[in-house]
Amino acid sequence: MYRKDEEIARRIGIAIGERRAWSQVVADVAARVKPHDIGSLCSDCRWEPYGLCREGVAHIHLSPQLRELPPA
């Protein structure tokens, strides 16, 4: 997981340990990652086939606001 975090951080221009406002992270993702990029960025992740990250990146392109979680 840490290797993947480092790869994604590099992709969006964030150094490991760097602190940024969530709004800046969202803007960086929107500018540098497209939903279809997830297939190659995360090809070895067991969660990738579920499409959650691809869907999340697509959502960021539509709105910088986090979606509400469904009730538990």
Q: What is the pLDDT of residue 1?
A: 60
In a domain, 39, yes or no: yes
Q: Assess if residue 71 is contained within a domain.
A: no
Within-domain flag for 11? yes
pLDDT in tens, 2-24: 678 888 899 999 998 899 998 99
Residues whose CB is less than 8 angstroms from the CB of residue 15 and which lie 6 or more positions away in sequence, other chains included: 9
The pTM for the full model equals 0.80
Count of structural domains within the chain? 1
Q: Does 47 map to a domain?
A: yes
Instruction: Write out pLDDT tens, residues 22-72.
Output: 899 999 999 999 999 999 999 998 999 999 999 999 999 998 887 787 787
Domain presence at residue 9: yes
Of the candidates 49, 55, 50, 42, the one whose C-alpha atom is nearest the C-alpha of residue 5 is 42
**Domain-embedded: residue 70:** no
Domain hosting residue 25, numbered range: 2-62
| CB distance 18 to 12 below 8 Å | no
